[in-house]
Structures are given as structure tokens and as C-alpha cells.
């Protein structure tokens, strides 16, 4: 017959409702002959083992544990079979008989005062006997054929190093006998339990029910094995650590082996061996979502992405043995592994450099101290003579592994793995890769493990590249930026796998922290009704979340106090993006320290919007320098406010009145002196000079201020009123320029010798700076390549949306550097 094997785990059989669901699920698939292999009801095996331990220690609570289990199973039978009294009575009698036997066994342990392994296996296997009888009875109540098989009547095993080895010939004879003597189209079979070749009661070990499923598939020459659990299938990563983990639709046996060994708890690696031997496809399915096709595992697999999934083993320790005395000495590795083998300490990962100067092994954390002590005894002589320098234990380690058949022969997989870890600021303790290239494993600190897992997952495009973003300064530019980020978030996630989470907003006194991130409805008021006092340390800690791989802080203030924090943020791996000019033009020592940190660290500092708002001024300058050009001179109009004023300044117009109108329209700072003083333009010039490698500061820039010194200490209103007294002087300069067919423009100039000037200049009417839109900025780069015809960058240089757009572009550049597909 055409056999299909279905195996159901404990979570699928947790109670009467679940058992009824399973019965109806298999009944709906009665077009094939079925072998239904079952685990114990959820938690029952653990309860039986706890009762055995209590009985062996003469703890009387074992009786109440057993009674609770008896009542649970009898109540389940009642719920399943209450409309079939005869079948209910028969089933309850069978269940009671099982519990009488269990009571006798546990009483024996109490008398003996110990729990022999064979007794524990006999007791722990009763859970499967009980659940199989319940499912068989429910199927019969539904009018379905259900022949009960105790797997101990079929499976014969012998001890082996890994779990147990099946005696295939003996088991096949037993199976063939049952098929001949008790033919049926559906068998309900106990998982987990078996007998040794000598006929003694045994089990396949914990997680042995999955193994039972594929064993019976081989004995029945089944066409498929369906392992039903409470998840949709194997996922690309642990969903508790990576919520974006995706269902893996198709894997090869080898890929599944690797993922299962490295912690994919859905299936035990041993469970696939019998299916592999006979090339039987295995499906991992969700009992409670049977419409989902789940994960198919077969010999072919599916090419797809080179990396199919990422898994890991936690609660580990790393032991490093190092010393020059090991170099070229045969047998060192053999001594290490023989000693650990004798101590029955499992080694999960091995790494050795070709220099042979060090060997490291990763072992379970509980065995770490013992393993180190054993190795110190083995190498006592070498340690005494300093041939081995030390044997060090590093606790709290997790092994992460990337798995995929497509990795074989694919260049760049390892590079992408380590680049993803580096960008997330993760230190790798050890590395291991087999010659098959199907698995690359790294050991990392447990504290970094979740961040590392998410970074790797995103790095191989298995999930969104996630950035945890904090915004400081929700003024006009900051609020515009928040609107732009929130409005674009869904599109970026859909089209570029980029998940921008704006998780914090802070003003000069308050802050708002949002764990999932702000939503679109927050875009008009990102700070909201925040009442938490500003604490920049707490804000940075919140943004630099261990559960998210990348952190970005955006400073939209004009505060030197915030700029003072950049170095510390960069040192801890937080990327900084800003239109704030203080760090780039302020204290030279601070600037140099930031630059040194950028050279040795992984975090980025992006500041394109400090010069020219959204115009690519700094990027253009960097492109010229990086491609080997020499910048001779830079001239530019860097103030949208001053561009606006001198574009509108005509004879008969009051300059003071223009300033007042511009302030009312929002084209100036709240205090127009901040624009008229020229300091802001000078800061931009210093930023460009430092980008050219020139060591200058604000004091080195000759600045012509348009704010009269006599009004420096006046209030804003008094300044605006008193400015009219200087209209005549400004009108005189305008008339003098026009008499020469010139225009007035506020120009910043810098040459390659570091000479810098900011001043109001009279320019010819045909000059490139003479004909600008109202608030345009313009920059002319005269270089060796562009000596006679300067390279011009021109466009809007003022306005919150424009500046915010420049900052947003910097954020996206950082995201691209982190692996986003833009």
C-alpha cells in the first residue's frame, strides 16, 4: 500500500480538544494508508520522570503526581468519548490498568530507594501508551479504522554512541509480521519506546518520537513523513530573537541536519537519518495550521539563497589552549580530545590556527570549569615549563552558524558574514568552517548574541535591515525629518528590506521613548505629550538596544552640548547623523578625536546637511579629493537667508524692512543676528576646509558681519528697530555695485593655502552667483581638472523640508553601508 507516516508531538496532543483536532485531521486524509506515530501529551513525560525521582527518594508527593496524571487522562477520555459510553468504558479500563502498573513500578522504586535506568525508561514510556490509546479511541468514535501498535512489539535497538542504533533486520521482521497478522489502513503507533535486541524495555531517548516517525517510514517504505508540531515549519532563525524569521519552504537533508544540530528545536537531527537512508521526503507541518504546506526536506533541496538559515547553541564556554610549545608537536590535539572524551565532555566547536600556536574548543557551560581543570592536569608539565602559556576559560558563549547548500563554491559568503558582524560591532571569539562549506560557525559573547543573530539574518537578506533611530531636536527640521521617515517607512520596508524604527525623540528638556517605534499618526507631533526629563545617557542606551543590530542618533539641534556627545556615541558603535555644525567646525582637538575614532571604529558620522542643506556639497568635495583631484579654491553662497535678502534688495527698498519680512516669513533664525553675523557661513567654510585636510578654526576665517556691533547686546525687537539706522550705508553699497553693473552677494571663499573669508562682495552681473533663485545656495569648485570652468553645485539651500531631506539621505547612506538594498 501507499503509506504516509504522520507523527504528532506533545503540543499537538495537549488536551481533548487537540486530540480531537488531530483525529479529524488524519481522518480527512484517508486516501492513503497511514501510520500515525504519537508522543505523550504535553508535559506528561516530565511528570512521570519527576514522580520516579520522588519515589526513589521516598518523597510521598509522587502519589499525588501520579493521581493528577490519572485524572487528566480519564477526564480527557470522557471529553473525547462521552457520546460513546461503551467505548469510553473500555478506554477508561485500559487507562486505569496502565496507571495500576505505574503505581506498582513507582512503589518498587520507593522500596528500593533508587531508580535504575531500565525502570526509568519503562516508566517514562507510558506517556506514549496513554496518548496512543486516547487517539485510537477517538478515531474509532469518528467511525475510522485505528489499529493500535505498541512500538515495543516492533522496534529492536542496541546501544550506540549517539542515541541508540536500530536493528533494522530484526525490526523489519517484526513489522512484516504485524502487517501480515493485523492488516489495516491506519495504525496508531507509540513513539519514543522500543526494546533492545535482548527484548528488554527501552526508549529512543528524549526527542525520540520524531526518530520513531522516520524509523516507521523506513520500515513501511513510506512515500512521505509528516512531522506535525505547533509551528509552520523550520524557520530561517529563532523567531523569539528574530521576529522577521521566515518559513523555509524547501531544504536538503544536510541543511536540515545542520539547522537541527544548532538549535532548531522543531526537529531532532537524528530523526532525519532513516528518511535520508531511503530518500523519503520529510515535511514539517503545523497541526493547528494544516493549510500551510510547511517545510519540505529531501535529498535535492532547493538552490535559492546561498544561506538558508541561521541557528545557534547557547549556554556554552570557550577554552583556549595557547603556547609556542605546541607548534609542530604531534599529538597535542589528540591529547586534548582524548582527555575530554574520557571525561564525557562534548565538544561543539573546534578552531585552530595554521600556526598551531593556539587551539580552542567550545564545550557546554556546565562542563567548562571541569574541562579546564582536566586540561591543566593533562598539560601540567608543559604549563610548568612555559611550553603552554595558559589554558583560559571564557564563559557565556553562544555558537552561531549559517547554513546552506548554496554556500558551497559561492565566493563572498564568509565576507558577508563577518562584514555583518563588524557593522553591528560584534567581536568574534572563534571561527570554524568545514571543507563542505555548508556551515560556517562563529563563537560570540552571549551578551552580543541576539544583536549578532539579527545582523547576520539581515545581512543575508533573510529579514529587514533594522535601524534603531533616535532624533534629538524636534524643531522645524527635526519635525520635517520625522514626517519624511514615517511617510517612507512602509515603502522602504517593502521595496528595500529596510526597517527604520524611529524609537526616540528628544527636545532640550524632554524626551519620548517608544519601544516599537513611532507610528505615522505621530508625524505631526513626534515629541507628543512626553513628560520624561531629558537624559542623553538613557536615550543612547535605549537606542543602542541589544535586540536590534544597528543604532543611529540624529542631532537636529544647533547645540555644542549635544555635539560634545558624538565621540562617546561613536565609540560605542552608534552612528551619528547631523546638520549641527558645531562638531565639524568647533574645537579642533575634539574634531581630531572624532576622526581618529572613525578610522578605528565601525560607526559612521554623516554631516552632509551641515553645508548646503540638501545639496551634495561635501559628497562632491570628497569625490574630487578621493579620485585624486586637487582643490585649488572654493567659492560659494552658503546662506539661504542672505541669498534671499540680496536677491530682493533693490534701490528704494529698506534692507532693515527686508530683514523683518524674512523673519516674519520664517526665512531667518528667531534672532536674525545669527544669520547676519556671518558666523554660520564661516562654520560651513571651516567644515569644508577640514574636509580638504586644512587645519583651521573659526578664528582663522575673516568674517564681515552685517549685524551692527552697536546692536549686539540689544533685544531682538530693539535690534530690528535699530537696524533701520544703517539702511543708508547698505543702500550706498548697493548703488555703488549697480553703477558698475554688479550685484551684491554674501560670499564665502577658501583656497588651498587655508586663506578663508566671508564677506559681502560686488560681483559682475554675468557671474554664476548673480542669477540665483530666492533662497538658492551655490558652490563653485576650482580644481586641477576644473581650473578654467569651475564645477558648480546649485539648488535650494534653506527650508526645513530641504534640510531634512539632506539628513534623510545621510540616514539612507548609512543604511546602504550596513547592507540595505537601496
pLDDT tens-place string over residues 604-663: 999 999 998 889 999 999 999 999 999 999 999 999 889 999 999 998 899 999 999 988
Nearest to 505 by CA among 467, 545, 487, 532: 532
Q: What angle, rounded to 10 degrees, do the helices at 617-626 and 679-691 form?
A: 20
Q: What is the structure's pLDDT at 437?
A: 67
581 catalytic? Reply is no
Q: What angle, rounded to 10 degrees, do the helices at 476-496 and 800-817 form?
A: 40
- Bridge partners for 702 per DSSP: 757
Q: For the chain, which ranges sit under pLDDT 50?
A: none
Query: What distance in Å separates the CA atoms of residue 617 and residue 632, rounded to the nearest whole number?
Result: 16
Domains and CATH numbers, the chain: 3-229 (3.40.1160.10), 309-461 (3.30.2130.10), 466-605+813-818 (3.40.50.720), 617-798 (3.30.360.10)
pTM of this prediction?
0.70
Query: What distance in Å separates the CA atoms of residue 566 and residue 557, rounded to the nearest whole number?
Result: 13
Q: What is the structure's pLDDT at 546?
A: 67
Pick the catalytic residue from 7, 308, 581, 684. 684
Q: What is the structure's pLDDT at 331?
A: 82
Q: What is the structure's pLDDT at 31?
A: 75
Q: What is the structure's pLDDT at 262?
A: 66
Judged by DSSP in three states, 544 sits in coil
CA-based end-to-end distance of the chain = 54
Residues 6+ apart with CB under 8 A from 341: none
Residues 6+ apart with CB under 8 A from 695: 588, 754
By the 10 Å C-beta count (0-12 exposed, 13-18 middle, 19+ buried), 71 is classed as exposed
pLDDT, tens only, 426-474: 999 999 986 566 889 999 999 999 889 988 988 886 777 889 999 999 9
pLDDT, tens only, 259-288: 877 655 677 778 889 999 999 999 999 999
CA 667 to chain centroid, in Å, comes to 43
Nearest to 375 by CA among 349, 348, 338: 338
By the 10 Å C-beta count (0-12 exposed, 13-18 middle, 19+ buried), 341 is classed as exposed
Neighbours of 759 (CB within 10 A): 16
Nearest to 742 by CA among 721, 713, 762: 762
pLDDT, tens only, 141-163: 999 999 999 999 999 999 876 66
Amino acid at each position: 500500500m501507499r503509506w504516509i507516516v504522520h507523527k504528532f508531538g506533545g503540543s499537538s496532543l495537549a488536551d481533548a480538544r487537540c486530540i480531537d483536532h488531530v483525529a479529524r485531521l488524519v481522518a480527512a486524509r484517508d486516501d492513503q494508508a497511514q501510520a500515525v506515530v504519537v508522543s505523550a501529551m504535553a508535559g506528561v513525560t516530565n511528570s512521570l520522570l519527576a514522580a520516579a525521582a520522588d519515589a526513589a527518594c521516598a518523597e510521598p508527593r509522587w502519589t499525588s503526581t501520579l493521581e493528577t496524571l490519572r485524572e487528566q487522562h480519564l477526564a480527557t477520555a470522557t471529553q473525547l468519548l462521552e457520546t460513546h459510553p461503551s467505548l469510553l468504558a473500555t478506554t477508561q479500563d485500559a487507562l486505569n490498568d496502565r496507571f495500576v502498573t505505574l503505581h506498582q513500578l513507582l512503589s518498587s522504586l520507593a522500596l528500593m530507594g533508587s531508580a535504575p535506568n531500565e525502570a526509568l525508561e519503562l516508566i517514562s514510556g507510558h506517556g506514549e501508551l496513554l496518548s496512543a490509546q486516547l487517539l485510537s479511541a477517538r478515531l474509532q468514535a469518528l467511525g475510522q479504522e485505528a489499529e493500535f501498535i505498541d512500538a515495543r512489539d516492533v522496534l529492536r535497538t542496541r546501544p550506540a554512541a549517539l542515541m541508540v542504533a536500530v536493528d533494522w533486520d530484526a525490526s523489519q521482521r517484526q513489522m512484516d509480521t504485524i502487517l501480515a497478522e493485523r492488516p489495516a489502513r491506519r495504525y496508531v503507533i507509540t513513539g519514543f519506546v522500543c526494546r533492545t535486541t535482548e527484548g528488554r524495555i527501552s526508549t529512543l531517548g528524549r526527542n525520540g518520537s520524531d526518530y520513531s516517525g522516520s524509523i516507521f517510514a523506513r520500515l513501511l517504505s513510506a512515500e512521505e513523513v509528516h512531522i506535525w508540531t505547533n509551528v509552520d515549519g523550520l524557520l530561517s532563525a529563532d523567531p523569539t530573537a528574530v521576529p522577521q524569521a521566515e518559513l523555509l519552504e524547501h531544504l536538503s537533508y544536510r541543511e536540515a541536519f545542520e539547522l537541527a544540530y544548532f538549535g532548531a528545536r522543531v526537529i531532532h537531527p537524528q530523526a532525519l537519518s532513516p528518511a535520508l537512508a531511503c530518500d523519503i521526503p520529510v515535511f514539517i507541518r503545523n497541526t493547528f495550521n494544516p493549510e500551510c504546506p510547511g517545510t519540505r526536506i529531501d535529498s535535492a533541496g532547493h538552490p535559492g539563497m546561498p544561506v538558508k538559515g541561521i541557528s545557534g547553541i547557547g549556554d556554552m564556554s570557550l577554552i583556549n589552549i595557547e603556547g609556542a610549545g605546541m607548534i609542530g608537536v604531534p599529538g597535542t590535539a589528540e591529547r586534548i580530545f582524548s582527555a575530554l572524551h574520557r571525561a564525557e565532555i562534548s565538544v561543539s566547536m573546534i578552531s585552530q590556527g595554521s600556526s598551531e600556536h593556539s587551539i580552542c574548543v567550545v564545550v557546554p557551560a556546565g562542563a567548562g570549569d571541569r574541562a579546564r581543570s582536566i586540561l591543566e592536569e593533562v598539560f601540567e608539565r608543559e604549563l610548568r615549563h612555559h611550553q603552554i602559556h595558559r589554558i583560559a576559560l571564557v564563559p557565556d558563549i553562544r555558537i552561531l552558524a549559517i547554513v546552506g547548500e548554496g554556500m558551497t563554491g559561492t565566493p563572498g559568503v564568509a565576507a558577508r558574514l563577518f562584514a555583518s558582524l563588524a557593522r553591528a560591532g560584534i567581536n568574534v571569539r572563534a571561527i570554524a568552517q568545514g571543507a563542505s562549506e555548508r556551515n560556517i560557525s562563529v563563537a560570540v559573547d552571549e551578551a552580543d548574541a541576539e544583536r549578532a543573530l539579527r545582523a547576520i539574518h539581515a545581512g543575508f537578506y533573510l529579514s529587514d535591515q533594522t535601524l534603531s533611530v533616535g532624533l534629538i531636536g524636534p524643531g522645524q527640521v527635526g519635525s520635517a525629518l520625522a514626517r519624511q521617515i514615517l511617510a517612507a517607512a512602509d515603502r522602504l520596508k517593502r521595496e528595500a528590506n529596510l526597517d527604520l524604527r524611529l524609537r526616540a525623540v528628544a527636545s532640550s528638556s524632554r524626551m519620548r521613548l517608544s519601544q516599537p517605534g513611532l507610528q505615522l499618526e505621530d508625524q505631526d507631533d513626534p515629541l507628543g505629550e512626553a513628560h520624561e526629563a531629558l537624559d542623553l545617557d538613557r536615550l543612547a542606551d535605549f537606542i543602542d538596544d541589544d535586540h536590534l543590530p544597528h543604532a543611529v542618533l540624529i542631532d537636529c539641534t544647533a547645540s555644542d552640548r549635544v555635539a560634545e556627545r558624538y565621540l562617546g556615541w561613536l565609540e560605542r558603535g552608534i552612528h551619528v547623523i547631523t546638520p549641527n555644525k558645531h562638531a565639524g567646525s568647533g574645537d579642533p582637538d575634539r574634531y581630531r578625536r572624532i576622526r581618529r575614532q572613525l578610522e578605528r571604529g565601525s560607526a559612521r558620522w554623516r554631516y552632509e546637511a551641515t553645508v548646503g542643506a540638501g545639496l551634495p556639497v561635501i559628497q562632491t568635495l570628497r569625490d574630487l579629493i578621493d579620485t585624486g583631484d586637487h582643490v585649488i579654491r572654493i567659492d560659494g553662497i552658503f546662506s539661504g537667508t542672505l541669498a534671499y535678502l540680496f536677491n530682493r534688495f533693490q534701490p528704494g527698498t529698506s534692507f532693515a524692512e527686508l530683514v523683518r519680512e524674512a523673519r516674519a516669513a520664517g526665512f531667518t533664525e528667531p534672532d536674525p543676528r545669527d544669520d547676519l553675523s556671518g558666523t554660520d557661513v564661516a562654520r560651513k567654510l571651516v567644515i569644508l576646509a577640514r574636509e580638504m585636510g586644512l587645519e583651521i578654526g573659526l578664528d582663522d576665517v575673516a568674517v564681515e558681519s552685517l549685524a551692527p556691533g552697536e546692536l549686539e547686546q540689544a533685544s531682538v525687537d530693539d535690534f530690528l528697530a535699530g537696524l533701520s539706522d544703517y539702511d543708508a550705508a547698505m543702500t550706498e553699497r548697493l548703488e555703488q555695485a549697480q553703477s558698475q553693473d554688479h550685484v551684491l552677494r554674501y560670499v564665502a571663499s577658501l583656497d588651498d593655502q587655508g586663506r578663508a573669508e566671508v564677506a559681502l562682495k560686488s560681483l559682475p552681473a554675468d557671474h554664476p552667483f548673480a542669477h540665483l533663485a530666492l533662497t538658492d545656495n551655490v558652490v563653485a569648485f576650482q580644481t586641477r581638472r576644473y581650473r578654467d570652468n569651475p564645477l558648480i553645485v546649485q539648488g535650494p539651500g534653506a527650508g526645513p523640508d530641504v534640510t531634512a531631506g539632506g539628513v534623510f539621505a545621510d540616514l539612507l547612506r548609512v543604511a546602504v553601508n550596513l547592507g540595505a538594498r537601496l
